[in-house]
């Protein structure tokens, strides 16, 4: 088990609940007396009904008393009975027949030969022991020794790896992160088998004591970035980290902005690609998504699948995604502006047709769109939280019935429904967190365009653009490589450059080693294909 580094606490006045308790534990150590040790631990873990204390004796020497402490449900009962209890209380004589093991030698012997456990650690600090127990490890105390053996026999009921539901792909790996930190780090390690892939461990949250891992590739990542991320993480002083979102809000650059400046992904392949571009990932135990920083806005226009599909098609899809972004942000306000200010923009037949259909609609366009938008958002939110099969049925039924009936009743115009639904669907093309920003900003733009028409809308858009230019994510301008323009990086933004042309990593992010691949990988004639890409 790797060494946990406890974050240093910087002055938060008033004290968090767990702080005093942790401080009181800090200097406690084990004694040589098993009873006393057990008593001490029992005192700390008082009223914790899930803690199991199992006392037994060593097979060859009954004077050597042993005690196992673990939490039921977190530790693997099979391993404990077979590999620890059975090994120590029964099988030791078979291994060393006739040999007497003294109390003094017991610890050394158990460590070396007695236990059939893959992971073993020694500690004498009570604080570490408690943490180990609570994390699911099994602690073995040996009478007469002031040292505890921490066995990594963890095993709890966890959700198996499953297809990614939030980021589904047609082509490409389907696996996604699970809730267990170790499983997730293993998934990354499976993608990048390099000693340079560093997985640093931290513990955050005074009460929850959550394991957090900092993942990056040494040699590619900018060292300053790692230091910065670490220092921001270490400043966190909160009672619990239940989801990565807690960390995201505590380390982002612009807490007031609607735009997320920390990205997240649930897919190991995408995370690996991000690490290879010089980003740092933060994995949190209990969270099936990894945070990545620095986050650029263009990441929301890129999907992992882009890089597995043929590049020309992927580039076309990028254009569609870009168009969807504009549509989801602006279409309703454009509709309002045109229908209530700039009627001249409509071709004459269309204007006459719309005029005819609107004759029966009682509301001004602005309110009509607003009502429809709100109805759409309500349906969407309801669909999110209902059980999946019911949710789908209800939202489809409600949307269809509501829409059709509202139009037939002359409550809203059909064109309004088209516009609102189209904009709503366009916003789904986005990764969720940026989509949310646009969903909210859409309302702001609608108010502006309802006031000043296209002038208002474009002023709002300029304001948003300026705002996005002010954002930075861990020192990297949010809109790069669009503004400021980094011409070499643009190939992977407005289009998806073919792999043989993506020679370098993003400039602003990587500190060193910007070369991504060798030159001249473009496949050519058949006799030269041996030189081509693998």
* Cβ 203 vs Cβ 128: under 8 Å: no
Query: Should residue 10 be labelled a site residue for another protein when binding is judged by CB under 8 A?
Result: no
Which of 109, 177, 341, 430: binder of another protein (CB under 8 A)? 341
Residue 350 beta carbon to another protein: minimum distance, rounded to whole angstroms? 8
Note whether 470 binds another protein by CB under 8 A: yes
CB of 368 to another protein, least distance (A): 10
Contact range with another protein by CB under 8 A, out of 62-70, 133-141, 362-370, 499-507: 362-370
Residue 294, preceding peptide bond in cis (omega within 30° of 0): yes
What is the enclosing helix (H) or strand (E) of 432? helix 432-470
Stretch of residues binding another protein (CB under 8 A), selected from 70-78, 276-284, 298-306, 451-459:
451-459
Shortest separation between residue 522's beta carbon and another protein, angstroms: 29
* 137, 151 contact by CB (below 8 A): yes
Question: Candidates 144-152, 153-161, 364-372, 376-384 — which segment interacts with another protein by CB under 8 A?
Answer: 364-372
Per CB under 8 A, the list member of 11, 14, 97, 349 interacting with another protein is 349
- Residue 385 beta carbon to another protein: minimum distance, rounded to whole angstroms: 27
Q: What tokens appear for 4 in the block?
A: 């946990």
Q: What is the DSSP string of 361-403?
A: --S-HHHHHHHHHHHHHHHHHHHHHS-HHHHHHHHHHHHHHHH
Nearer Cβ to another protein, position 154 or 358? 358
68-73 long-range contacts, Cβ below 8 Å, gap at least 24? Answer: 68/138, 68/139, 68/140, 68/141, 69/38, 69/41, 69/133, 69/138, 69/139, 69/141, 70/133, 70/136, 70/137, 70/138, 70/139, 70/153, 71/133, 71/134, 71/136, 73/156, 73/157
Q: How many residues does the chain have?
A: 534
Cβ 132 vs Cβ 124: under 8 Å: no
In DSSP terms, which residues pair with 220 in a beta bridge?
A: none
Pick out residues in 310-339 that bind another protein (CB under 8 A): 339
Residue 180 or 261: the one with the smaller Cβ distance to another protein is 261
469 forms part of the interface with another protein (CB under 8 A): yes
454 contributes a contact to another protein by CB under 8 A: yes
Distance of closest approach, residue 337 Cβ to another protein, in angstroms:
9
For 475, left (φ over 0), alpha (ψ -120 to 50), or beta? left
**Structure tokens that stand for 464 in this block:** 């948003």
355 binds another protein (CB under 8 A): yes
SS3 198: strand
Q: Which residues pair with 53 in a beta bridge?
A: 69
Q: Report which DSSP code applies to 82.
A: I
Instruction: Point out which span in 97-105, 160-168, 189-197, 343-351 binds another protein (CB under 8 A).
Output: 343-351
Give me 244's structure tokens: 């990565």
The residue range among 106-114, 116-124, 450-458, 499-507 that interacts with another protein, by the rule CB under 8 A, is 450-458
What is the contact mask toward another protein in residues 232 to 271, using x (rule: CB under 8 A)? ------------------------x---------------
CB of 454 to another protein, least distance (A): 6
How many whole angstroms from its chain centre is CA 404?
40
As measured in angstroms, the least distance from the Cβ of 351 to another protein is 6
Number of residues that bind another protein (CB under 8 A): 49
C-beta of 507: minimal distance to another protein in Å? 13
Residue 214 or 447 having the CB closest to another protein? 447
Can residue 462 be called a binding residue for another protein (CB under 8 A)? Answer: yes
Q: Which residues are near another protein by CB under 8 A? A: 256, 339-345, 347-349, 351-359, 361, 364-366, 444, 447-448, 450-456, 458-459, 462-463, 465-467, 469-470, 477, 479, 482-485
């Amino acid at each position: 088990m790797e060494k946990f580094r406890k974050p240093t606490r910087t002055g938060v006045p008033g004290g968090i609940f767990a702080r005093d308790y942790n401080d009181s534990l800090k200097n406690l150590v084990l004694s040589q007396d098993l009873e006393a040790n057990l008593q001490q631990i029992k005192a700390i873990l008082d009223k914790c009904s899930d803690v199991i204390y199992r006392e037994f004796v060593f097979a060859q020497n009954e004077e050597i008393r042993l005690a196992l402490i673990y939490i039921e449900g977190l530790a693997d009962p099979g391993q404990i009975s077979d590999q620890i209890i059975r090994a120590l209380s029964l099988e030791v004589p078979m291994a060393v027949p006739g040999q007497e093991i003294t109390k003094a030698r017991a610890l050394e012997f158990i460590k070396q030969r007695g236990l059939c456990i893959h992971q073993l650690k020694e500690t004498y600090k009570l604080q570490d022991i408690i943490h180990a127990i609570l994390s699911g490890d099994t602690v073995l105390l040996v009478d007469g020794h002031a040292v505890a053996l921490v066995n990594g026999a963890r095993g709890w009921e966890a959700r198996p790896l499953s297809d990614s539901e939030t980021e589904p792909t047609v082509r490409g790996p389907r696996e996604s992160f699970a809730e267990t930190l170790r499983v997730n780090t293993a998934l990354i390690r499976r993608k990048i088998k390099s000693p340079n892939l560093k997985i640093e461990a931290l513990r955050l949250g005074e009460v929850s004591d959550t394991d957090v891992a900092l993942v990056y590739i040494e040699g590619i990542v900018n060292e300053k970035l790692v230091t910065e991320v670490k220092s921001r993480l270490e400043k966190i002083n909160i009672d619990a980290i239940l989801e990565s979102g807690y960390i995201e809000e505590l380390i982002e650059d612009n807490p007031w902005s609607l735009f997320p400046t920390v990205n997240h992904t649930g897919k190991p392949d995408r995370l690996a690609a991000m690490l290879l571009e010089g980003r740092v990932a933060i994995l949190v135990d209990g969270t099936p998504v990894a945070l990545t920083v620095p986050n650029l806005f263009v990441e929301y226009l890129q999907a992992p699948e882009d890089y597995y599909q043929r590049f020309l098609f992927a580039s076309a899809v990028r254009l569609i995604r870009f168009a969807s972004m504009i549509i989801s942000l602006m279409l309703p306000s454009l509709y309002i502006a045109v229908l209530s200010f700039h009627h001249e923009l409509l071709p004459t037949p269309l204007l006459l047709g719309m005029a005819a259909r609107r004759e029966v609609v009682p509301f001004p366009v602005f309110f009509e769109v607003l009502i429809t938008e709100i109805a759409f958002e309500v349906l969407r939110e309801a669909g999110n939280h209902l059980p999946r099969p019911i949710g789908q049925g209800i939202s489809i039924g409600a949307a269809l019935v509501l829409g059709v009936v509202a139009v037939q009743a002359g409550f809203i115009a059909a064109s309004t429904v088209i516009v609102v639904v189209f904009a709503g669907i366009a916003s789904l093309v986005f990764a969720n967190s940026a989509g949310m920003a646009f969903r909210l900003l859409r309302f702001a733009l609608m108010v502006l365009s309802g006031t000043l028409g296209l002038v208002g809308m474009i002023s709002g858009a300029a304001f948003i653009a300026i705002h996005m230019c002010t954002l930075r994510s861990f020192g990297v301008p949010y809109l790069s490589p669009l503004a400021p323009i980094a011409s070499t990086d643009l190939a992977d933004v407005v289009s998806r450059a073919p792999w043989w042309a993506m020679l370098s990593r993003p400039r602003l992010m990587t500190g060193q080693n910007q070369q991504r691949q060798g030159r001249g990988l473009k496949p050519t004639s058949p006799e030269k294909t041996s030189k081509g890409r693998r």
